[in-house]
Chains A and B, each alone.
Chain A
């Protein structure tokens, strides 16, 4: 293997660097920008730059992309979060077109002041009805990132505490930073460790928010919500569950992992992202109405951003409606079957970690393989997301396959074959 990496670094010198190495530099000059430019030049010069490759059509399971070099590839996509295929569903598109015709392109104002349209109220009602709980409300945001940022920073203040799962998404972390509360982390999905952390806080006199997720996108595993909520409540902490990767998909009725683990009424705040299973863009907080009413005023990322654009809002209303109908039931069944099918093709041959959802990681290990591997997979017919150090530990870099309800078994076979072929080429077969 050493010979392999010696050769790799000699032929492709950019592989010895990871992106964290250019994150900042001491000194007055922006040396990090210069060094990053050098690195990017090396990668693009080798035609291995696979970030931000433009797609030439909708996020369907089969896509075409064009690289900076002008090379075009027809690929089976495993990189989109369009879990239920709603981004290109004809009824969703029609809903968006109708709203666009009626309301115009943009909301052109903050939701609190002049940017709220009747169609936003319809989306709030649609989501509330979808969950079906009394006295709950919805606060809309123009992104999922903004929803976490705004909800946490309005709920927690200097002197308070935010306790986060170590695998938390950046938006939860950034929300905690913006809040100026004291940040603590607990080991991933470890309720016992969470209890240790909570015990160290003066919990009887402190406001505490515990943040976790329904499904974690790094490992594709479920949050242990029941245990986390039980421990949190014992110490008087509120709980926020980010269902970005799970709402509409998990649970019998698509109400997320909170429904699946029977904690829907115990989670104090649920965050949804509209850019994944909803097929659009934006996000929301779902919580008791008195909480959402407050957040509507005090979440800075909502107050100082334009409201959701009407076209997207119209499409989202339709997506929620479909997800709550037999159509949603069918798609949830298919995505689950598809994920099991792809897992069965990969399990035992490559390391798929602890995945139990529609996100299937394949751990290839060495971070130096990331760009060559991404290039190889595109050239072998699939578009797939790669995650590397420092987002994951050293030697734990991974491919992530995002399975959708719309993949066919033939497309899943193409994905499995390409991954296994790459595993053979880059030495990460486990069998």
Chain B
């Protein structure tokens, strides 16, 4: 898709991306979702949450931001197909970052629910793994669980729902990067009982990954993230 520069579009460059969709009982998170949205389930009673970790090099927002790390926690919900056909639509529950300015901007521009600053972020690019914590302790340790990779360099379309007071908003987001997608169900990390993750119990410490999307190490990817509008 052709993206025309405008005040409603911010292009973010990233040099690390690891995202995992985990299976979890829908009952555990359904109450966090606005009633107009419904969770996508892989089987009855089993929904999907998404945890995405990014590293953004210095220079974001026209050079204003330093290098920072970001963590997003969301629930996979029914998309709005009247806008196009995305790979997934998510309702964002928590955003964490090592950069306060980025958090402030995300709350204002994207209406994202800010959880707070991440205090300790480790990225192992070789193993494609992360370990992120905040003041309440370790949130997540997450790793690629596929021994093989097959990166596809193409644009992928997503939708991001957020709440703005009583209103629901939706934003279009496109990722242009070589990504590898797989559904191997091996050990993909540890998800803790943590406020950032809404204190969800991820299968007694044995979370089941449904899908992983992994950026190719060393490559710069682009995220075309549009300003949300009222849904």
Q: Which residues of A contact B (CB under 8 A)?
A: 1-2, 5-6, 9, 17, 21-22, 24-27, 29, 31-32, 34-35, 39, 166, 173, 176-177, 182-183, 185, 187, 390, 393-396
Give Cα A29 to B78, complex, Å: 13
A22–B86 alpha-carbon span in the complex (Å): 10
Docked pose: A31 CA to B89 CA in angstroms: 14
> B211 to chain A: which residues have CB within 8 Å?
394
Q: How far is the CA of A17 from the CA of B87 in the complex (A)?
A: 9
Asked if B80 contacts A35 (CB within 8 A), the reply is no
CB–CB A35/B81 < 8 A: yes
Once the chains bind, are B44 and A176 in contact (CB under 8 Å)? Answer: yes
Q: How near does chain B come to A427, taking the closest CB pair, in angstroms?
A: 12
B107 touches A (CB below 8 Å) = no
Task: Pick the 8 closest A-B CB pairs, nearest first.
Answer: A393-B183, A31-B81, A25-B81, A31-B82, A26-B78, A394-B183, A35-B81, A177-B44
A116 to B107 CA separation, bound complex (whole angstroms): 66
User: How many contacts A-B (CB < 8 Å)?
Assistant: 68
Q: How many residues of B contact A (CB 8 A)?
A: 30
Question: A residues within 8 A CB of B36?
Answer: 26
Q: How far is the CA of A9 from the CA of B153 in the complex (A)?
A: 13
Interface residues of B in 167-184 (CB under 8 A from A): 181-184
Q: Are A26 and B37 CB-contacts (below 8 A) given A31-B80, A185-B43?
A: yes
- Give the residues in chain B near A24, CB-CB below 8 Å: 38, 78
Q: How far is the CA of A9 from the CA of B37 in the complex (A)?
A: 31
Q: What are 27 A-B interface contacts by the 8 Å CB criterion?
A: A2-B152, A2-B153, A9-B154, A21-B85, A22-B81, A22-B85, A25-B78, A25-B80, A25-B82, A26-B36, A26-B37, A26-B38, A27-B231, A29-B82, A31-B80, A31-B81, A31-B82, A32-B81, A173-B43, A173-B44, A183-B43, A183-B44, A393-B182, A393-B184, A394-B183, A395-B181, A396-B183
Given contacts A21-B85, A183-B44, 18 further A-B contacts (CB under 8 A): A1-B150, A22-B85, A24-B78, A26-B36, A26-B37, A26-B80, A26-B231, A27-B82, A31-B82, A32-B81, A173-B44, A185-B46, A187-B185, A393-B183, A393-B184, A394-B181, A395-B150, A395-B182
What's the Cα separation between A32 and B38 when bound, in Å?
Answer: 15
Name the distance in Å between B185's Cβ and chain A's nearest Cβ. Answer: 8
Label chain A's interface by main secondary structure: mixed
With A177-B44, A185-B43 given, is the CB distance from A27 to B80 under 8 Å?
Answer: yes
Is A17 a contact partner of B85 (Cβ separation < 8 A)? Answer: yes
A185 proximity list for chain B (CB < 8 A):
43, 46
Measured CA separation A27–B81 after assembly (Å) = 9
A27 to B38, CA, bound (A): 10
In the complex, A195 Cα to B37 Cα: how many Å? Answer: 35
Closest to B168 in A: A26
Whether B59 sits at the interface, judged by CB under 8 Å, is no
B-side contacts of A32, CB under 8 Å: 81
By a CB distance below 8 angstroms, the chain B residues around A394 are: 181-183, 211
Chain A residue nearest to B159 in the complex (CB): A26
In the complex, chain A residues whose CB is within 8 Å of the CB of B77: 26
B61 at the interface (CB under 8 A from A): no
Chain A nearest Cβ from B181, distance in angstroms: 6
Residues from chain B with a CB closer than 8 A to the CB of A34 are 81-82
Chain A positions within 8 Å of B189 at CB level = none
- Decide: A390 near B44, CB < 8 A? Known: A29-B82, A32-B81, A395-B182: no
